[in-house]
Structure 1
Amino acid sequence: MKRQLACLALAVSALSGGMSVPTFAAPFPVTPDMSVPVSQYVTQVNADKSITYRLFAPGAKRVSVITGSTPDNFVSHDMTKDDSGVWSWKSKSLTPNLYEYYFDVDGFRSVDTGSRFQKPQRQVNTSLILVPGSILDDRAVPHGDLLTVTYHSKELRSERRVYIWTPPGYNGKGEPLPVLYFYHGFGDTGLSAIDQGRLPQIMDNLLAEGKIKPMLVVVPDTETEITQAIPENYPPKERRKTFYPLNAKAANRELMHDIIPMVDGRFNVRKDADGRALAGLSQGGYQALVSGMNHLDSFGWLATFSGVTTATVPDAGVAAQLAKPQAINAQLRNFTVVVGEKDSVTGKDIAGLKAELEKQGITFDYKMYPGLNHEMDVWRPAYAEFVQKVFK
């Protein structure tokens, strides 16, 4: 009994802070052997343009790599483990492009912890790898500058930032340059257009080839994150009913009252409608449609790539403007509408918009990408094509 009481006293003393109690944690994860070259346990592109995916996970029981850009085209590949604890799988030779992938480690979705190239989403869960040989490469050409500009949004009452690409040698002197405003998609960030969309590389390379005019490209944050419109507060099924309309109105005010005045004031740019283009993808395509139609006299060029449209998210201003086809045809130098053939996210949206434009007799360029879904393999080439049309 005395021994039991003594043990109880020690326990009470420990709980009250009278003595320290040792804590037991799991051991730290094993790290790769320091004598092994890093190239032997990280993902890499091979000389034949295949990719060897690798992940160091000696304690895992099952690892697979999932390739593809949407759930509609995901493919899972079982990986094998060597004696050093490195799991690997080698792809076939691939077309030059930027590819997405992630690992399934015993049921846990993981980015490639051996790579710094992650898909810049609001919830990061995918990695990127570039197979060289396309317009997406960093080539030995004159490079523009990528600026990060932080500003105070009076409309949103918060500090915000935009990314701005300026052409090589731009110093603000000479003739004012036109501006393309480009909105990213839902769940992404401005860096999605930069790192995954590869806008700086596309612009550098097209300009070096003489295929585009010098311009500024401004990439705002499509999601306003205002208190009443934080996307996490809305279940996916409710987003088009609640979040999208609220967010679009807030982003529209920010564009017209904060972003464009800031760009006009800080840079030597054109301020006429023909000197401004507006485009976006997915949710950003909806934003471009809303702002472009509600402020038609402010833009001369408009594009939506796989955008949400008023077919599922009504907007009174857009509807009213679409009923004035002569005004749209007179104002817009180009109106581009793009979608992937198998787009299961916004395919119906774009089909509805296309039917409405045809019904009203509104002039527009339409392109469907065969066999593709709601993905960057639609949006990167669509952007490259559109940017070659504007300001000419």
Structure 2
Amino acid sequence: MNKNALKLLLSGLLLTSSAMAETLSLPDGFPTLPPQDRAVNDYVTTVNADNSVTFRLFAPSANKVTLFTGATPESYVAHAMNKDAAGIWSYRSPVLSPNLYEYFFSVDGFRSIDTGTTFTKPQRQVNTSQVLVPGSLLDVRAVPHGDLRTLTYHSGQLNAERQLAVWTPPGYDHSKQPLPVLYFYHGFGDSGRSAIDQGRIPQIMDNLLAEGKIKPMLVVIPDTETDTAHTTPEDFIPQQRRKVFYPANANAADAELIHDIIPLIAQRFNVRQDADGRALAGLSQGGYQALVSGLRHLEWFSALATFSGVSTSTVPDSAVATQLAKPDEINRQLRHFTVVVGEKDTITGQDIAGLKQTLEQNGIKFDYHAYPGRGHEMDVWRPAYIAFVQQLFRQDR
């Protein structure tokens, strides 16, 4: 076909498409499209130059839209939004401190994520959006960047195909020295992306390493939820989770860590094989996992942290109880044992209080910090992670 014929064909197709578009009508009830005479930033959430945030939602048929900010139901704050002639609802916040903030909308009583952004909180049921106000360690800065690698593997312990993430420091592929490893577990109801997208571990590690505040290491982020038979969280009402789900899931995840994950990392990466080269931490349900695996296999790790973790105060574990009765072994083995909680945590506050009392009564050395005014939230766990990771792998025995 020559060029002129091709042009005629394309012109005909365009004319036909245009004519069809003019004759087609949208079905009844089809939502109105965003305004075509406005820039995209006029109807999506944006961070302003002064670090205030203008939250927007295009919902022309809605009668009432309310913005909710905050990380927990106890801290939610409602903000009335106003609608313009184009059907765009908006609210401009005061100037905000650099941080990652959570929010969602109530649209005539329906809870909705921000449909104008892909930046949602990684959860098994996604219902919250996020906005990053720049100026903190959570930013992507112009520093050398590590790599975030996804490994798909078969877990023999779970008889399932699984995935985990591994952050490796800049220049890792050219390094001949075996590196230490931090294993980090996310919390209940979150997905494997939680520690990455919301916890901001890659950005934190890049920035701390560039500032010389941490030692080069790998961070391995497994999926805390094993989803084995009868251990899926959605199968249990909240009152039953601590009785049934947590113990069963912790047993499965512990077996996976020791028999699948740690050997996999040793096979795929140049890492240290000694206890001084391993640390274990987690938040909320992941904090329970860290406590269970860290104490059951005390000889495998040199540092342990639980951030607002469920504890054996409410989910007993006989192996952990036996180990907690051996304070000399724990004090000798662990260089760092960190326990963190938000001062207003109504989810695991009692768990951490019970663990703290047990550790004190048994003479076990640990670092404790309660974040004032905070609940069960990332504004506890991100600062706690930042503080903990700076302590790791500073010296060998």
Task: Classify the TM-score, shorter chain.
Answer: over 0.9
2:55 aligned partner: 53
Where do 1:1-392 residues align within 5 Å?
26-171=28-173, 173-392=175-394
Q: How many Å apart are 1:206 and its aligned residue?
A: 0.2
Secondary structure of 2:265's counterpart equals helix
Residue deviations 1:11-57 (CA, integer Å, cap 9, x gap): xxxxxxxxxxxxx9643111112221001000011111111100000
Q: What SS does the corresponding residue of 1:389 show, helix, strand or coil?
A: coil
**What are structure 1's unaligned runs of at least 5 residues?**
1-23
Alignment RMSD (CA, Å): 0.9
Indicate the residue corresponding to 1:18 in structure 2: none
**TM-superposition CA deviations, 1:185-234 (whole Å, max 9, x none):** 00001200000000000000000000000000000000000011111111
- Which secondary structure does the structure 2 equivalent of 1:117 belong to? coil
- Cα distance in structure 2, aligned partners of 1:76 and 1:270: 49
Query: Given the superposition, is the C-alpha separation of residues 226 and 172 from structure 1 closer, same or farther in structure 2, using an over 3 Å criterion?
Result: farther
Amino acid at match of 1:170: Y
Alpha-carbon separation, structure 1, partners of 2:101 and 2:232: 29
Structure 2 residue identity aligned to 1:98: L
State how far apart, in whole Å, the 1-side matches of 2:343 and 2:111 are. Answer: 28
How many residues are aligned here?
369
Deviation per CA, 1:140-197: give whole Å up to 9, x if none.
0000000011000001111000010000011164110000000000000120000000
- Give the Cα–Cα distance (whole angstroms) in 2 for the partners of residues 207 and 242 of structure 1: 41
Q: Which runs of 5+ in 2 are unaligned?
A: 1-25
* Per-residue deviation, residues 264-289 of structure 1 (Å, max 9, x unmatched): 11100001001000000000000000
Per the normalisation by structure 1, the TM-score is: 0.93
Give me the whole-angstrom Cα distance separating, in 1, the residues matched to 2:368 and 2:235.
35
Aligned partner of 2:252: which letter?
A
Map of 1:7 onto structure 2: none
Contact in 2 for aligned 1:50/1:92 (Cα 8 Å): yes
What is the SS of the residue equivalent to 2:75?
coil
What secondary structure is seen at the aligned counterpart in 1 of 2:329?
helix
Q: Distance in 2 between matches of 1:61 and 1:34?
A: 22
Alignment partners' CA distance in 1, 2:355 and 2:333: 19
Q: In the alignment, is the contact (CA less than 8 A) between 1:305 and 1:379 conserved in 2?
A: yes
How far apart are the structure 2 equivalents of 1:96 and 1:68? 15
Residue 287 of structure 1: SS of its match in structure 2? helix
Using the size of structure 2 for normalisation, the TM-score is 0.92
Is the CA contact (8 Å cut-off) linking 1:102 and 1:112 kept in structure 2? yes
Contact 1:172 / 1:267 at 8 angstroms: preserved in 2? no
Change (3 A) 1:188 1:172: farther
- Determine if contact 1:99/1:129 at 8 Å carries over to the other structure: yes
